[in-house]
């Protein structure tokens, strides 16, 4: 199992309902929510904090699906037709999602993605209806990728908090099992792979992307920097071997896929160095009732956090 399910217990649900209701009345800006992150984390039920820390420290599961977070006012907000321009108001559900990923790391936005939003909307946009490999697409799939694999060190964690998912379109996750790992992965450890950006990050200069490894870290639990599209080994001696290993990795990851079907109030956190994820094609109606996830990314490594250009009003990454 790549992921573990944690269903919020009735007592925790009650205290989450209070927290969500409080923030639903206050309505925060993204900056205010970040400034209040320590307080928001402290207001999470201890069972939820404990489970998140257990996930962070554990070696068995690389994704955790927390089920049963109350939506509060958010439940009645229509899925935005324009995910980027939609209001940035932090309601109770957003605040709980931010606090949860705040237990794992420092949440941040990209200045050049969704206009720098801290909480990105993964909702189908009519403008991107036919685009492949974008979060706001729908009729074309988003192939397997670790989030922002074009960076040498992408976000440590990715959160997808479901507001609604009427067609039960899953988020697919995949990774390498203990049985998969072996010497065949060695070529993928060479820092010779260029991983290009997906459409949402095209403002990063492609000519500045540095080649890096696709696999690194421990041999029995290796880390991944993977994108099924736009990855190529730099030409030179051994390029055939490098390409073969990459194809074999892609096939292994396709074999290992698991569908996680999000429902309203399900908050999925993924170790972005261990698992890649994808979304299948689906038919959107663009009438306010479509699938809607909130996406937040976070860094755990203080050296990466220090590289975030600005902490006002919240950590933001500038394209390099």
SS3 of residue 48 by DSSP: helix
Minimum distance, C-beta of residue 82 to ligand AKG, in the bound complex (Å): 16
Please classify residue 20 by burial: count the beta carbons closer than 10 Å to its beta carbon, then call 0-12 exposed, 13-18 middle and 19+ buried.
Answer: buried
162 contacts ligand AKG (rule: CB under 6 A):
no
- Judged by CB under 6 A, the residue of 277, 292, 296, 316 near ligand AKG is 277
- Judged by CB under 6 A, the residue of 279, 298, 299, 304 near ligand AKG is 279
279 binds, among ligand AKG, Fe ion, none (CB under 5 to 8 A by kind): ligand AKG
Pick the closest to residue 225 from 258, 263, 272 (CA basis). 272
Residues 32-51, one symbol each (x = binds Fe ion by CB under 5 A, - = not), give --------------------
119 contacts ligand AKG (rule: CB under 6 A):
no
SS3 of residue 145 by DSSP: strand
DSSP 244-299: HHHHHHHHHHHHT-EEE---TTEEEEEETTT-EEEE-------SS-S-EEEEEEEE
Helices (H) and strands (E) in the chain, counts: 7, 16
Query: Token pair 């299948």 is at which residue?
Result: 280
Looking only at residues 72 through 91 of this chain, which bind ligand AKG when binding is defined by CB under 6 A? none
Contact 106, 49 (CB under 8 A): no
Looking only at residues 114 through 173 of this chain, which bind Fe ion when binding is defined by CB under 5 A? 147
- Judged by CB under 6 A, the residue of 293, 296, 298, 317 near ligand AKG is 293
55 binds, among Fe ion, ligand AKG, none (CB under 5 to 8 A by kind): none
282 contacts ligand AKG (rule: CB under 6 A):
no
Looking only at residues 241 through 270 of this chain, which bind ligand AKG when binding is defined by CB under 6 A? none
Contact residues for ligand AKG (CB under 6 A)?
Answer: 122, 135, 142, 147, 160, 171, 277, 279, 293, 295
């Amino acid at each position: 199992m790549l992921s573990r399910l944690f269903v919020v217990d009735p007592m925790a649900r009650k205290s989450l309902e209070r927290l969500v209701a409080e923030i639903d009345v206050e309505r925060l800006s993204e900056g205010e929510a970040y400034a209040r992150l320590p307080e928001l984390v402290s207001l999470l039920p201890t069972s939820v904090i404990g489970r998140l820390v257990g996930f962070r420290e554990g070696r068995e599961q690389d994704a955790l699906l927390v089920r049963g977070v109350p939506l509060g006012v958010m439940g009645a907000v229509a899925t935005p037709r324009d995910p980027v321009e939609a209001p940035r108001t932090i309601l109770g559900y957003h605040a709980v999602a931010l606090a949860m990923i705040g237990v794992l790391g420092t949440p941040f936005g990209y200045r050049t993605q969704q206009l720098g939003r801290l909480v990105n909307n993964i909702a189908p946009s009519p403008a991107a209806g036919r685009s492949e490999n974008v979060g706001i697409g729908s009729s074309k799939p988003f192939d397997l990728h670790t989030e922002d694999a074009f960076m040498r060190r992408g976000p440590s964690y990715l959160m997808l908090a479901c507001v609604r998912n009427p067609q039960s379109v899953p988020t697919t996750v995949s990774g390498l099992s203990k049985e998969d790992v072996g010497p065949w992965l060695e070529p993928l450890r060479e820092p010779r792979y260029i991983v290009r950006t997906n459409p949402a990050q095209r403002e990063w200069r492609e000519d500045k992307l540095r080649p890096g490894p696709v696999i690194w870290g421990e041999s029995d639990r290796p880390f991944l920097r993977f994108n099924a599209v736009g990855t190529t080994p730099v030409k030179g001696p051994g390029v055939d071997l490098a390409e073969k290993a990459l194809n074999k990795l892609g096939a292994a990851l396709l074999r290992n896929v698991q569908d996680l079907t999000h429902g309203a109030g399900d908050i999925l956190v993924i170790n972005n160095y261990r698992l890649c994820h994808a979304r299948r094609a689906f038919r959107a109606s663009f009438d306010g009732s479509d699938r809607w996830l909130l996406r937040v990314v976070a860094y755990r490594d203080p050296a990466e956090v220090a590289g975030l250009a600005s902490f006002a009003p919240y950590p933001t990454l500038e394209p390099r």
